[in-house]
């Protein structure tokens, strides 16, 4: 693998962890959070505690470490709770 610098384009990017407002969460529940990637002119536009609205594309990126934990065999969610004979 060699990076072709003359043909490459680079941009600023930042990963933000955003969380629901605590006022919108029912009592006794934890606020949900998600990671958001911003690029170019949106980098460093907000600070912790700001209220923001995001518009863009949702891209699901699986957590690789959660998919391959040592000692656990992967299972299909279709077959969860069934015996080996029922799954066939």
Which residues lie closer than 8 Å to 37 by C-beta, 6 or more apart? Answer: 13, 14, 15, 16
**End-to-end Cα separation, the chain, in angstroms:** 43
List, for residues 28-62, the tens digit of each pLDDT value: 999 999 899 999 999 999 888 898 998 988 888 77
pLDDT attached to residue 62: 77
Tell me what the mean pLDDT of segment 12-33 comes to.
Answer: 91
Please say if the pLDDT value at position 86 is more than 70: no
């Amino acid at each position: 693998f060699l990076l072709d610098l003359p043909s490459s384009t680079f941009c600023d990017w930042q990963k933000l962890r955003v969380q629901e407002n605590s006022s919108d969460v029912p009592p006794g529940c934890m606020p949900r959070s998600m990671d958001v990637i911003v690029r170019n002119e949106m980098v460093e536009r907000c600070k912790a505690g700001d209220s923001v609205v995001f518009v863009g594309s949702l891209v699901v990126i699986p957590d690789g470490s959660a998919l391959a934990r040592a000692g656990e065999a992967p299972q299909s969610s279709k077959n969860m709770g069934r015996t080996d004979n029922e799954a066939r």
